[in-house]
Amino acid sequence: MAGSKDQARMAAQAFTAADDEEYWEESSVTSSKKNLFDDEEEGFTVLGVSENKAARLSSALRSTAPDLFADDDNDDITWETSSNISNSSSHGSITSAEYRSARYTPPTNRSGSLSTSSSRSTAATVTLGGSQDNSLSVQFSKPKITRSEPMSLEDAIIDVPAKQVTATEVSKLETEIQFLRRQVQLGERARWTSLPVKETIKRIILGQPYSLEAYKSLEDKLALLDAAIKMHDGDAITIAVLFLKKTVRKNIFQQELIKRPVAINHLIHFLWCHYDLDDLEEIYRILGRMEDVFVLKYKQALAPSKAAGRAQSIAAVVRSFQHDSSLAPDSTLLLDQCTLLQRQIQIEEEDKKIAASGKHPVFREHPPKAHLPLTPLTTTLYYCSFYHYNESDSSLSSPLSIKRDFQISDKQYTWSTLNALAKLHRWKEIEALLTSKNWFGGTKMKACIGFEKVVDILSKQKAPVDILSKYLPYIEDPNERLALAAKLKCHRTVVDTLIQLKDRTALEDYRLKTPDYSLERQYVITALNNSQIKWKN
């Protein structure tokens, strides 16, 4: 008891601490649609919840009861792997007798239509006009089952008071028996004469025995298929299509199939699942669905797991579709993929030699972790920017030659190279990358991805403040620039931006945030004393 008292006291403390936060009382939800996520000063807030506060409360709660999760009772299924088998204790089938008495009839064995029909009749007498459907017999017992107690089906059934059988019910049962007798006879005959197609499809849907042998004429076969389509069951449609396929000549089959799109879908799906890819291709070709043929062939071409083999098989696909103009755009993509694969193989071979020689500093400090072949183009571009940035653009592994040969967008190129160079802390090269020359030989800073992103990448790679300060002033939106500069403690940019915004009050506030007697403090004071600036406040 003493222990839990302590716990409670701790909890109490934790909660009083929490009380100090006004947060608990006040609604933090000021959610206007555009501004869901108020950026609070002391931490990030998502959807109105502050991270710090969540953490605090959560740890407070945890500390109050460390054993909170100890008493979990698990009834999960544990899996045995097929290789390692420990013999677990067997409980045997002690309860088998109990469950034998369950009232519903066991699902009937499909040995033939006769036995099914007869078992059906016995079930019917018990459940009053029931069928093979198990759920029906349960209806009677339902009111007895109480909400809270998980009673088994069988318990509930025993409790049902015996039902009084009235004369009308007896006569009803008799009619039922008559009906079922007729059904049995019908079933016997049905074995040898063809049932109406609709009945056969119904039997397939309801999981009753059926036979298709009797449908010999083409009309019957087609009627069967159409009935299946009309009754919507995919299983029946597939069975009917495959029956047609098996029993008539190929060209008749194809001719009839083309008229029935739903049947086509089912056949195609069956062939996919069954890996009958040659048949599948043929069907697509007959239907003129060349794009599907193309995709199928491409999928098959991707089977080789080695880059060289894959490049070869993809090249074969491209060759076989070179005359199909409607597929030209996708063929081009595949051709690029081949070229890339071959190039990756070559680059990797070269790089292995370079790495082995141990001369290249980057390879020494950052040996490649994964294989280059089979990676996407963007990844390859990053790789080449990382290891081969300064190579001339005639080299296969130069990022510039890759940009040119694969028509990579400027933005993509900037993202990949900038990331690679920042990771290597190569600030000079970054500056060169972002400097563009104009016609008159002058230079200008330019970043197609926006300087806020540039600063973001650099700051994530822990670039020094003076490097960041180079790019911060180029951020167009002054408010965004201000926020970012303040976060990264680039004081000069903050001051310049506040001057641009003519916000004297903010600048005066900011003065206190700069270190005493620093250059930045001096800079602020100079600005504040500048009479030329027309402050807005």
For position 392 contacting another protein by CB under 8 A, the verdict is no
Question: Considering only residues 467-486, where is the footprint of another protein by CB under 8 A?
Answer: none
Which of 343, 244, 259, 329 shows the shortest CA–CA distance to 294? 329
The reply on whether position 336 binds another protein by CB under 8 A is yes
Which CB sits closer to another protein, 161 or 329?
A: 329
List 254, 412, 461, 469, residue binding another protein (CB under 8 A): 412
> Which residues have CB under 8 Å from 277's CB, separation 6+?
271, 296, 300
Q: What are phi and psi of 443, to 5 degrees?
A: -120, 160
**Ramachandran sector of residue 239 (left: φ over 0; alpha: ψ -120 to 50; beta: rest):** alpha
- Cβ nearer to another protein, comparing 375 with 469: 375
Q: Is the dihedral of CA 21, 22, 25, 27 positive or negative?
A: negative
Residue 17 or 114: the one with the smaller Cβ distance to another protein is 17
User: What minimum distance in Å lies between the beta carbon of 54 and another protein?
Assistant: 4
Given 17, 47, 114, 126, the residue binding another protein (CB under 8 A): 47
Residues found in the chain: 537
Contact indicator for 418, 454 with CB cutoff of 8 Å: yes
Binding to another protein, residues 8-37 (CB under 8 A): 8, 11-12, 15, 18-19, 23-24, 27-29, 31-34, 36-37
| Residues near another protein (CB under 8 A), total | 145
Q: Which is nearer to another protein, 57 or 465 (CB)?
A: 57
Stretch that binds another protein, among 270-278, 364-372, 465-473, 524-532 (CB under 8 A): 270-278
Nearest distance from residue 354's CB to another protein, in Å? 26
Residue with smaller CB distance to another protein, 207 or 464: 207
Closest approach of Cβ 232 to another protein, in Å?
A: 4
Q: Least Å distance between CB 85 and another protein?
A: 4
Q: What are residue 150's phi and psi, to 5 degrees? A: -75, 85
If binding is defined by CB under 8 A, does position 283 make contact with another protein? no
Rounded to whole angstroms, what are the CA distances from 27 to 24, 30, 46, 49, 53?
Answer: 8, 8, 14, 10, 14
CA atoms of 411 and 477, how far apart (whole Å): 20
Please identify which residue in 41, 93, 369, 536 interacts with another protein, judged by CB under 8 A: 93
316 binds another protein (CB under 8 A): no
Sites for another protein among residues 428-447 (CB under 8 A):
none
CB crowding 145-170: b at 16 or more within 10 Å, else e: beeeeeeeeeebbeeeeeeeeeeeee
Q: Does 54 bind another protein (CB under 8 A)?
A: yes
**Burial class, 173, CB count within 10 angstroms (exposed 0-12 / middle 13-18 / buried 19+):** middle
Tell me whether residue 411 or residue 502 sits nearer to another protein (CB atom): 411
Alpha helices in 358-390 (DSSP H): 361-365, 377-388
Residues numbered 121-180 forming contacts with another protein, rule: CB under 8 A: 128-129, 131, 133-136, 138-139, 142, 145, 147, 150-154, 172
Q: Is 50 in the site for another protein (CB under 8 A)?
A: yes
Name the nearest CA neighbour of 471 among 483, 456, 491: 456
From 248, 316, 377, 465, residue interacting with another protein (rule: CB under 8 A): 377
Out of 22, 42, 90, 515, name the contact with another protein by CB under 8 A.
90
Minimum distance of another protein from residue 516's CB (angstroms): 33
CA-wise closest residue to 471 among 490, 487, 498, 486: 490
* DSSP string computed for 81-112: PSS--------TTTTHHHHHT-SSPPPPP-S-
Q: How far apart (Å, rounded) are the C-alpha atoms in residues 356 and 382?
A: 21
